[in-house]
Chain A
Amino acid sequence: MARIISMKDAVNEALDQEMSRDPTVIMMGEDIVGGSGAPGEDDAWGGVLGVSKGLYHKHPKQMLDTPLSESAYVGAAIGAATAGLRPVAELMFVDFIGVCLDQVFNQAAKFRYMFGGKAQTPVVIRAMCGAGFRAAAQHSQMLTPLFTHIPGLKVVCPSNAYDTKGLLIQAIRDNDPVIFLEHKNLYASTADVPEEPYTIPFGEANIVREGGDVTIVTYGQMVQRAEQAADMLKKDGIEAEIIDLRTLSPIDMDSVLESVEMTGRLVCVDEANPRCSIAADIAANVAQDGFDDLKAPIQMVTAPHSPVPFSPSLEDIYIPSAQSIADAARKTMEG
């Protein structure tokens, strides 16, 4: 009875169901229209990796192929959101956010605050993130900390197909701007996903695995690696608890502190660069609010402070590995 689908299909299904439910939900982006079997000019890609394949023919009035101008259509989506639509803008690679930062940081994120709570901006900006795709420095970044830093934005980075569908539907129904980051290396990963629409609330971490010895906090692609690390640790008799944050803003710090209260040991894993990262944020919060529970220094496992290398062998070393996570956990067990 399990219905196993990929994370890519989970994104497609969430968009499909929400566009069916609510005609004010629209999609904008580069090459998002069309799909296999579509005639003439419609025979496009369904997104650069085919995520929106088949949606145009179901929702022709809700899908808008845009010019190659991120600053224009991200701005247009934010404007449309203030005027009553629920746009989902697809930014292809999150690395392209640079040219639309004013629209995102200075406009969308500020409207509710600057208009005294009277304005709402129900826009979702979807984009692929993360390394491991052999896409080099300008298409591989993990920019979660950049958005998490800005009040007024909600930031989501799911680790699996089930969470992806529920969090994306929640993002579309949410009345605030949501940055929805899909790790491109996870698109093929599969999970049991209900066919019916459902939502997962923001700010609730998922306890992926329970364990009493060390807490591993992470999100996105690193959840899988943390699980591999936990398997390695188990062979040494170390039981790791894995917390998948799911959303970085809001963030479920309570679950982290509760877990550390039990384990006394913390490993923060982040695919982002180390400075001002999600890992650094968690570490600082636990050091402040959970210091008495700690039995060992907090460990951070992150990418190095460098661009993502194009060389495949270097890129593989760049991304935090299960081994490095396990090593960090063992370090907390010393002494």
Chain B
Amino acid sequence: MTEITPILMPKWGLSMQEGKLTDWHIKEGDEVKVGDEIMDVETDKITNVVEAADGGTVRRIVGTAGEVYPVRALLAVMAPASVPEEEIDAYVSAYETPVSDEEDEDTGPAYHVIELPIGKIRYAEQTGANADQTPIVLIHGFGGDLDNWLFNIDALAEHAPVYALDLPGHGQSVKSVDPGDPGIFTQTLLDFMDHCDIKRAHLVGHSMGGLVAGSTALDHPDRVASLTLICSAGLGEDINKDYIDGFVNAAGRKELKPVLTHLFYNQSLVSRAMVQDLLKYKRLDGVQDFLTQLSTTAFRDGKQARIIADKLATLDIPITVIWGENDAIIPASHAQNLPDVKPHVLGSAGHMVQMEHAGEVNKIIAASLD
């Protein structure tokens, strides 16, 4: 029985209860390698391609394309050719989908809330097979939260322990903070690493989070094993001011939705639930002031206020740069601004490249850890 590997409905984030299996990319008899695209899954929040976590021979397709299944429902079975059909029949009929339970976090990341000097900080932690490796810390961008790493946390945890935090003013972390001081993010990141007893980490930053990661590496190079900058701020002046202003000022669903489409190459990814979740965040007391202030300190006269590309070039830390070719927030040309780094510019991808092309981004990050 141990030779049988199930393919299950994934769980993306805490709230996911079920998903629609929209399409199969595999059929019975196929040889699947780790990382192969196996199926498309759609939830009320997002649609994504699921990649194989294990390799093997597809022996049985159980799930029907177009149907909705609960999280961790059995969708297909992989096994070597030596396993008899009867054994696969028995496995399929004996499989019971575990009851979805908020407390049951054995397959997803664990979420924690801690008190740091700046206030409450929420983070997600996921440890896989390589718990002894230097940890990866994921840092989201302006207006984002740790769920921006929904499709990255589990995959990266195969290689090293993964931590993703909500920066101050964001997600479920403290809101009443003064972003006038750009140091609050780097200081929070260092306090966070101290709290979690992380001596050194691979920092992966998206957008403004890239600037936070880079600034931290400049000030404390001993704490940073490597840098991965995804569609990062701080590498050039240009920024889509209309997006920033639109995001900060949008008061309702109808105003926010068109603004969010700028984030993606495939604009149909902007779902009703995504808009609602962001509105829920924006409507919390303090967030509007925070974002307004942050946007005026981080961006001035329609340009990024802080450029660290030159300093990063002098740093003796491995740097990986990833960009979405169609990034409408920070132009992909900034990927060229670190002369010694050969950037990974992914086609058909926008600013949220780590969501739109999670598999490729995960592979690039994993390769950068060596």
Residues of A within 8 A of B (CB): 1-2, 162, 166, 192, 194, 196-201, 204, 206-207, 210, 254
Contacts and interface: CB of A to CB of B under 8 A. Distances in A.
Interface string B10-25: 0000110000000000
A198 B111 contact: no
Given A194-B284, A198-B285, A199-B283, A1 B111 contact: yes
Contacts of B172: 1, 194
B34 interface: no
Interface string B119-148: 000100000000000000000000000000
B272 A166 contact: no
A196 B170 CA distance: 13
B283 A198 contact: yes
Contact of B253 (A192, A194, A199, A207): A207
Interface in B250-292: 251-254, 272, 276, 280, 283-286
B101 to A, nearest CB: 12
Nearest to B14: A1
Nearest to B146: A1
A204 B275 CA distance: 14
Contacts of A207: 253, 272
Nearest to A199: B283
A204 B253 contact: yes
B102 interface: yes
Contact of A197 (B14, B111, B251, B284): B284
Nearest to A205: B253
Given A207-B253, A207-B272, A200 B283 contact: yes
Interface of B: 14-15, 102, 111, 113, 122, 172, 175, 251-254, 272, 276, 280, 283-286
Contacts of B254: 254
| Chain A interface, >50% SS class | loop
A245 B172 CA distance: 27
Given A201-B251, A204-B253, A2 B14 contact: yes
A22 to B, nearest CB: 12
A197 B14 CA distance: 22
Candidate in B113, B252, B276 with the most chain A CB atoms within 10 angstroms: B252
Nearest to B285: A197
Given A1-B122, A196-B175, A201 B284 contact: no
Contacts of B252: 201, 204
A162 B122 CA distance: 21
Given A196-B175, A207-B253, A2 B283 contact: no
26 contacts: A1-B111, A1-B113, A1-B122, A1-B172, A2-B14, A2-B15, A2-B102, A162-B280, A166-B283, A192-B15, A194-B172, A194-B280, A194-B284, A196-B284, A196-B285, A197-B284, A197-B285, A198-B283, A198-B285, A199-B285, A200-B283, A201-B252, A204-B252, A206-B276, A207-B253, A210-B272
A264 B355 CA distance: 35
7 A-B pairs with least C-beta separation: A197-B285, A198-B284, A198-B283, A1-B111, A196-B284, A204-B252, A1-B14
A200 B252 CA distance: 9
Nearest to A3: B172
Contacts of B280: 162, 194, 198
Nearest to B112: A1
A201 B282 CA distance: 12
Nearest to B283: A198
Contacts of B284: 194, 196-198
Candidate in B172, B254, B272, B283 with the most chain A CB atoms within 10 angstroms: B283
A1 B102 CA distance: 8
Nearest to B288: A199
